[in-house]
Structure 1
Amino acid sequence: MAMLITGVLLWSLVHLMKSVTPGLRASVQSAIGEGPHKGLVALLLLGAMALMIFGWRSTPAEFSYDPPAWGRHANMALMFVAILLLGAAQGASRIRQWIRHPMLMGVFLWSLGHLLANGDNKSLVLFGGLGLWALISIITISRNEGAWIKPAKIATAGRELLTIAIVAVLYLILIFIHPWIAGVPVVTG
């Protein structure tokens, strides 16, 4: 469990440095240079991911709370929306007219869905921790950026339909590979 907690904390701290402690980030960047700073950040994030993956796999699941009976179905719906939001964050989208931080909101919905579907200790740490990181990021980035100026560029209807089609394909792929990623099948039967 310590590896999993360390991975979630490292991921969160490295990402939050820009929006919570911009002065510290700037001083580190000026001390070592922009290129080495980016490399260090990438290395720390890869390390955080490795800690989360190995921590997840090595931690035995213990009951923490009783998820609702409908939680698994809610998770499947929220996952589609989360993937759609992650896609909307990659370019022009009408979604960006309604949601200021679609990628972070997608991570939050991913986390929420998994907390509704799972009631074990490692899910609480991983999904709860990353969901909390996403919420803190939304708040701190919005505070630093000031008033929201909606993007002027929006996608065409064809681009939006293409995004939905890609999201549907990615959703099905994730359902298929979920047993290899998380060790648990999404659909049992």
Structure 2
Amino acid sequence: MTILVAGVLLWSIVHLMKSVTPGVRASIQGAIGEGPHKGLAALLLLASVGLMIYGWRTTPAEFVYDPPVWGRHLNMTLMFIAIYLIGVAQGKSRVRQWIRHPMLTGVLIWSAGHLLANGDNRSLVLFGGLGLWALISIITVSRNEGAWVKPADVATPGREVLSVAIAALLYTVLLFAHPWIAGVPVLAG
């Protein structure tokens, strides 16, 4: 469990430095340079993902709470929405007219869905921890950016359809790859 917690904490700290401690981030960047700083951040994030995967796979699942019987099915629907939001965060989309931080909102939905489907200790740490990180990020980034200025450009209808199609493809791939990624089959029983 310690390794899983360390992975979630490392991920959160590296990401939150920009919005929570910009002075510390700037001093590190000033001391080592912008390129090395980005490289260091990327290495730390890769290490955090490795720690989370290893920590997840080596922590025995222990019952913490009883998820609702409909939680698994709702989670499968929420995952499509989360994948879509994470994908459209990188470009033009009509969604960006309604949601200020689609990627972080997608992570929050991913987290909530998994907490509805799973009631074990490692799910609580991983999904609860990353959901908390996403929520804190939404608040701190919004505070630092000030008033929300909605993007003037939106995607064409064709681009929106393409985004949905790509999200559906990624959803399908992740559905079948889930046993190899997380060690847990989605489509079992």
Q: TM-score, normalised by structure 2?
A: 0.99
Report the residue type matching 1:51 in the other structure.
L
* Aligned equivalent of 1:44: 44
SS of alignment partner, residue 48 of structure 2: helix
CA separation in 2, counterparts of 1:167 and 1:144? Answer: 30
SS of alignment partner, residue 152 of structure 2: coil
Tell me how large the CA RMSD over aligned residues is: 0.6
CA separation in 1, counterparts of 2:164 and 2:39? Answer: 34
Q: CA deviation at 1:153?
A: 0.4
Q: CA deviation at 1:185?
A: 0.9
CA separation in 2, counterparts of 1:17 and 1:10? Answer: 11
Q: CA deviation at 1:183?
A: 0.9
SS of alignment partner, residue 80 of structure 1: helix
Q: CA deviation at 1:143?
A: 0.0
Of all paired residues, the percent bearing the same amino acid is: 76
Q: CA deviation at 1:87?
A: 1.2
* Aligned equivalent of 2:32: 32
Query: Is 1:102 aligned to 2:102, yes or no?
Result: yes
SS of alignment partner, residue 107 of structure 2: helix
* Aligned equivalent of 1:160: 160
- What are the within-5 Å matches in structure 2 for residues 62-101 of structure 1? 62-101=62-101
SS of alignment partner, residue 126 of structure 1: helix
Q: CA deviation at 1:160?
A: 0.4
* Aligned equivalent of 1:138: 138
SS of alignment partner, residue 152 of structure 1: coil
* Aligned equivalent of 2:173: 173
CA separation in 2, counterparts of 1:40 and 1:23? Answer: 17
Aligned residues: 189
Spell out, residue by residue over 1:8-37, the C-alpha distance to the aligned partner (whole angstroms, 9 max, x if none): 000000000000000110011001111111
CA separation in 2, counterparts of 1:40 and 1:90? Answer: 23
Q: CA deviation at 1:90?
A: 1.4
Q: CA deviation at 1:188?
A: 1.7
CA separation in 2, counterparts of 1:184 and 1:28? Answer: 39
SS of alignment partner, residue 27 of structure 1: helix
SS of alignment partner, residue 63 of structure 1: coil
Q: CA deviation at 1:64?
A: 0.5
Report the residue type matching 2:182 in the other structure.
A
Query: After TM superposition, where is structure 1 displaced by more than 4 Å over at least 4 residues in a row?
Result: none
Report the residue type matching 1:8 in the other structure.
V
* Aligned equivalent of 2:14: 14
Report the residue type matching 1:64 in the other structure.
V
CA separation in 1, counterparts of 2:40 and 2:173? Answer: 32
SS of alignment partner, residue 68 of structure 1: coil
Q: Gaps (5+ residues) in structure 1?
A: none
Report the residue type matching 1:80 in the other structure.
F
Report the residue type matching 1:144 in the other structure.
N
Q: CA deviation at 1:88?
A: 1.0
SS of alignment partner, residue 158 of structure 1: helix
Query: Is 1:120 aligned to 2:120, yes or no?
Result: yes
CA separation in 2, counterparts of 1:42 and 1:72? Answer: 33
CA separation in 1, counterparts of 2:33 and 2:159? Answer: 39
